[in-house]
Amino acid sequence: MGAPAEAIAAGLDPEAVVERRAHRLQPAFQATGMSAFVALVVTAINTGVDAQLIARWWHAWRLALPAAIVAAYLFRPLAWWVARLLARWSRPRAR
């Protein structure tokens, strides 16, 4: 039985279950993409662009990815707090 079937059986909205799961997984996927990009840029800057760049990048990314995923989940509450603070601060003022 998948998530939608379990949700229906429990009287929950299947789409709400999928949304909650997606919100929990989003930081990991974002950290994966960001760490891959940053590892590539930093590796290219530090060692140059040559035939071995992909091998060096792969090694750097394998080390960076777990740290990036842990950091994404650790800093998620702080990032959310700062984002909400800035959103409140930058909202248009009533005249």
pLDDT of residue 94: 64
- Residue 9, pLDDT > 80, answer no
Domain boundaries, the chain: 3-90
Q: How far apart are CA 75 and CA 87, in angstroms?
A: 18
Look up the pTM and report it. Answer: 0.72
pLDDT at 90: 80
Is residue 18 within 8 A of residue 3, CB to CB? The reply is yes
Q: Is the confidence at residue 91, as pLDDT, over 90?
A: no
**Residue 32 corresponds to which amino acid?**
T
Cβ within 8 Å of residue 57, ≥6 positions away: 39, 40, 43, 44
Residue-wise pLDDT tens digits, 11-42: 778 888 889 999 999 999 999 999 999 999 99
| Tens digits of residue pLDDT in 34-86 | 999 999 999 999 999 999 999 999 999 999 999 999 999 999 999 999 999 99
